[in-house]
């Protein structure tokens, strides 16, 4: 029997190589030291590749790997993997999302202590300049200080638990987790983001997306205490780096601990010129233990994928055309987009995800539900949610998932509706496909629409009175926002809803301004 070929493109812990080489049906190619142009000659007939951040799995790479079945990214981030390109070729992209959790938690704590005591500066002052000056390095104590934790997932929650042992008071902000997850630990659950901004220390642990990019900028820093201390060991760009620089330089921010930057390597970044900052070169996963765990997980995933047994942590599990009818494919994509849209409209901890399928597609309601769950949780979990682990993750988070097959009761031959219930309310989105693949959103919360699920959009519910459209367009025009389409749905109880498609990103200030309108019930920004 021909052996399956796995190529290791970037350095992994030796334990990973040992696991790979122990399998008699696997041929292992160590390409770690090969120049990248030589690597392209080696991957032509391989089944699986294991990469890290040094190898770009781009179009050139994928074109060279003609027999490739799967890519295993040994780590969390998959910025260097062209997932869309993989999907087009039927290649499964996987990552290793949890092996470095403890390493990232402990590095965050190191930075937290560093911002309090400036020990890196004190060390450099004594060691490099040979100056003994105790008075220069007065710090503050963590005990009895408030720590604001943005994002209460695997890493943020563990940071909070450990920080609490220092005697800190924990205030956590994460609209995508139940409040009980925080309060059961004797911590404060913040519904208002300003409660985080009032803390003495702030650390952030979120994925990077449109909602979290530049989440902390000039306006947020202005609301903070003078002398606040900030930590970011999650993703570069969650803090606006220009605002961070200006605020550290002015003294508004007393000290910052930064492990990640918007563009890396950040060897000439302006932040490096400041004294009251401790920086590390993206070391979140850099412990011997985490590297071993990552290598073991990556090797095990690669072996399973090479054999076609399973695809753990698959980020883009492709549709098997031989098992599903062709007409279903656009509905699977559509229902995932619908879930993502509903989650952006209803930003809160999800309690249940339910879909109703009517028409011929109802026979595949269970499959549709999996894609709906992935879309619904993508807003809060980012790359951590996929088609393989969707059911497990939903169960772990105690999210009820359910599908109903409905006899055709509408004007549509096929229609799917997703209902997301959160701690706040229920959001419903309906969609259908015209022709072979013309996807359409046809309803939101009972309001009828017809628009493509694509682009940047403002969803605006309002009292159905004169002058609403004028007030919306005035606000957008003032900010030079061009409207590409405006869809209006009217209800029977004195309310209306608008879906406003725009050409450029919408700032949080604009959404705040729209929500402040007297006629506005609520306004949210979504991107599909």
In three-state form (DSSP H/G/I as H, E/B as E, the rest C), the secondary structure along 243-282 is HHHHHHHHCCEEEEEECCCCCCCCCCCHHHHCCCEEECCC
Residue (of 525, 127, 162, 92) closest to 310 by Cα position: 92
- Grouping H, G, I as helix, E, B as strand and the rest as coil, residue 136 is helix
Both 71 and 202 in a single domain? no
Active-site residue (options: 18, 38, 264, 518): 264
Q: Give the separation between CA 115 and CA 338, rounded to whole angstroms.
A: 42
Claim to verify: residue 186 and residue 126 sit in the same structural domain: yes
Q: Is 245 domain-assigned?
A: yes
Do 528 and 502 contact (CB within 8 A), yes or no?
Answer: no
Catalytic residue among 235, 269, 354, 364: 235
Mark whether 261 and 157 lie in a shared domain. Answer: yes
Number of structural domains (the chain) is: 4
Is 16 found in the same domain as 144?
no
Burial pattern 67-89, b for ≥16 Cβ within 10 A else e, equals ebbbbbbbbbbbebbbbebbbee
Contact 222, 248 (CB under 8 A): no
Instruction: Clarify whether residues 105 and 224 are in a common domain.
Output: yes
Residues 77 and 26 in one domain: yes
Query: CA 97 → CA 10, 72, 84, 111, distances in Å?
Result: 17, 11, 19, 22
Grouping H, G, I as helix, E, B as strand and the rest as coil, residue 384 is helix
Element (H, E) at 182: helix 179-183
- The two tokens of residue 379 are 């807003």
- Range of 376's domain? 326-451
Q: Indicate if 441 and 359 belong to the same structural domain.
A: yes
Residues 62 and 90 placed together within one structural domain of the fold: yes
Structure tokens at 101: 């959790």
Give the whole-angstrom CA distance, residue 175 versus residue 152: 9
Of residues 453, 456, 459, the one with CA closest to residue 439? 453
CATH number of the domain to which 376 belongs: 3.30.1330.90
172-178, long-range: CB < 8 A, 24+ apart: 172/148, 173/148, 173/149, 174/150, 174/380, 175/347, 175/348, 175/349, 175/380, 176/347, 176/348, 176/349, 176/350, 176/379, 176/380, 176/381, 177/152, 177/153, 177/349, 177/397, 178/349, 178/398, 178/423
Active site residue 364: no
Furthest-apart CA atoms within the chain: distance in Å: 81
Would you call 282 a catalytic residue per the annotation? Answer: yes
> Which residue from 240, 217, 236 is spatially nearest to 77, judged by alpha carbons?
236
Query: CATH no. for residue 59?
Result: 3.40.50.720
Give the orientation angle of helix 14-21 with respect to helix 288-307, to 10 degrees: 30
Q: Are residue 89 and residue 108 in the same domain, yes or no?
A: no
Examine residue 319 and state whether it is found in any structural domain, yes or no.
no
- Structural tokens at position 109: 């704590």
Instruction: With respect to residue 314, please indicate whether it lies within any of the assigned structural domains.
Output: no
Give kind and range of the element (H or E) at residue 170. strand 169-173
Query: What residues does 209 pair with on adjacent strands?
Result: none
Q: Who contacts 322 (Cβ-Cβ below 8 Å, separation ≥6)?
A: none
Beta partners for residue 448, in sequence order: 443
pLDDT of residue 210: 83
Same domain as 337, residue 418? yes
**Assigned domain for 445 exists:** yes
pTM of the model: 0.84
pLDDT in tens, the chain (528 residues): 789 999 999 999 999 999 999 999 999 999 999 998 999 999 999 999 999 988 999 999 999 999 999 999 998 878 889 988 888 887 899 999 888 999 999 999 999 999 999 999 999 999 999 999 999 999 999 999 999 999 999 899 999 999 999 999 999 999 988 899 999 999 999 999 999 999 999 999 998 888 899 999 999 999 999 999 999 999 999 999 999 999 999 999 999 999 999 998 999 999 999 999 999 999 998 999 999 999 999 999 999 999 887 788 888 875 554 567 878 888 998 999 999 999 999 999 999 999 999 998 998 998 899 999 999 998 888 767 877 778 888 988 999 999 998 876 667 889 999 999 998 899 999 999 998 789 999 999 999 999 999 999 999 999 999 999 999 999 999 999 999 999 999 987 899 999 999 999 899 999 999 999 999 999 999 999
Catalytic site residue from 282, 364, 415, 440: 282
201 in the same domain as 114 = yes
Work out the angle between the directed axes of helices 329-345 and 365-381 (0-180°, nearest 10): 40
Residue 163: which of 116, 225, 216, 119 has the closest Cα?
116
The verdict on residue 313 lying in a domain is no
Tell me, yes or no, whether 479 lies in a domain.
yes
Is residue 398 domain-resident? yes
Cα atoms in the 13 Å half-sphere on the side-chain side of 71 = 32
Check whether residue 266 and residue 330 sit in a common domain: no
pLDDT at 53: 84
pLDDT computed for residue 323 by the predictor: 65
How far does Cα 245 stand from its chain's mean position? Answer: 25
Query: Contact 398/406 with Cβ under 8 angstroms?
Result: no
407 phi, psi to nearest 5 deg: -65, 140
Question: Is residue 265 reached through a cis peptide bond, with omega within 30 degrees of 0 on the bond before it?
Answer: yes
On whether residue 316 sits in a domain, the answer given is: no
């Amino acid at each position: 029997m021909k052996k399956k070929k796995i190529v290791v493109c970037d350095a992994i812990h030796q334990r990973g190589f040992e696991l790979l080489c122990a399998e008699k049906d696997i041929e292992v190619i160590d390409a770690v030291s090969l120049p990248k142009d030589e690597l392209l000659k080696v991957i032509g007939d391989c089944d699986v590749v294991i990469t890290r951040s040094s190898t770009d799995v781009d179009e050139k790479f994928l074109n060279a790997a003609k027999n490739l079945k799967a890519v295993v990214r040994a780590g969390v981030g998959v910025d260097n993997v062209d997932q869309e390109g993989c999907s087009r070729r039927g290649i499964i992209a996987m990552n290793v999302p949890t092996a470095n959790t403890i390493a990232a938690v402990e590095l965050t704590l190191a930075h937290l202590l560093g911002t309090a005591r400036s020990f890196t500066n004190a060390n450099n002052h004594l060691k490099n300049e040979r100056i003994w000056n105790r008075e220069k390095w007065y710090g503050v104590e963590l005990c009895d200080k408030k720590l604001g934790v943005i994002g209460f997932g695997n890493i943020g929650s563990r940071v909070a638990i450990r920080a609490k042992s220092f005697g800190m008071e924990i205030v956590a902000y994460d609209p995508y987790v139940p409040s009980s997850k925080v309060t059961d630990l004797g911590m404060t659950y913040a519904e208002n983001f300003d409660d985080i901004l009032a803390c003495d220390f702030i650390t952030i642990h979120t994925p990077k997306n449109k909602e979290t990019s530049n989440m902390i900028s000039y306006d947020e820093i202005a609301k903070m205490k003078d002398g606040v201390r900030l930590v970011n060991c999650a993703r570069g760009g969650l803090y606006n780096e220009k605002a961070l620089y200006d605020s550290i330089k002015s003294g508004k921010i007393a000290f910052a601990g930064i492990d990640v930057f918007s563009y890396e390597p950040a060897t000439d970044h302006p932040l490096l010129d400041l004294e009251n900052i401790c920086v590390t070169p993206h070391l979140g996963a850099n412990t011997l233990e985490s590297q071993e765990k990552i290598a073991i997980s990556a090797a095990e995933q690669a072996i399973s994928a090479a054999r076609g047994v399973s695809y753990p942590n698959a980020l883009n599990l492709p549709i098997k055309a031989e098992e599903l009818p062709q007409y279903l494919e656009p509905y699977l994509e559509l229902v995932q987009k619908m879930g993502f849209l509903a989650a952006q409209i209803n930003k809160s901890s999800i309690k249940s995800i339910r879909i109703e399928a009517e028409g011929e597609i109802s026979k595949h309601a269970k499959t549709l539900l999996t894609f709906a769950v992935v879309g619904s949780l993508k807003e809060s979990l980012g790359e951590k949610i996929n088609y393989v682990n969707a059911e497990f993750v939903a169960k772990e988070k105690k999210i009820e998932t359910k599908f109903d097959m409905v006899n055709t009761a509408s004007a549509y031959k096929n229609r799917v509706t997703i209902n997301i219930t959160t701690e706040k309310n229920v959001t419903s989105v309906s969609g259908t496909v015209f022709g072979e693949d013309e996807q359409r959103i046809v309803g939101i919360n009972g309001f009828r629409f017809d628009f493509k699920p694509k682009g940047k959009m403002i969803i605006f519910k309002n009292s159905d009175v004169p002058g609403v459209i004028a007030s919306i367009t005035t606000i957008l025009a003032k900010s030079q926002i061009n409207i590409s389409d405006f869809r209006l749905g009217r209800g029977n109880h004195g309310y209306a809803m608008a879906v406003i498609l725009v050409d450029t990103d919408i700032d949080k200030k604009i959404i705040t301004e729209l929500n402040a309108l007297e006629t506005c019930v609520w306004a949210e920004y979504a991107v599909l």
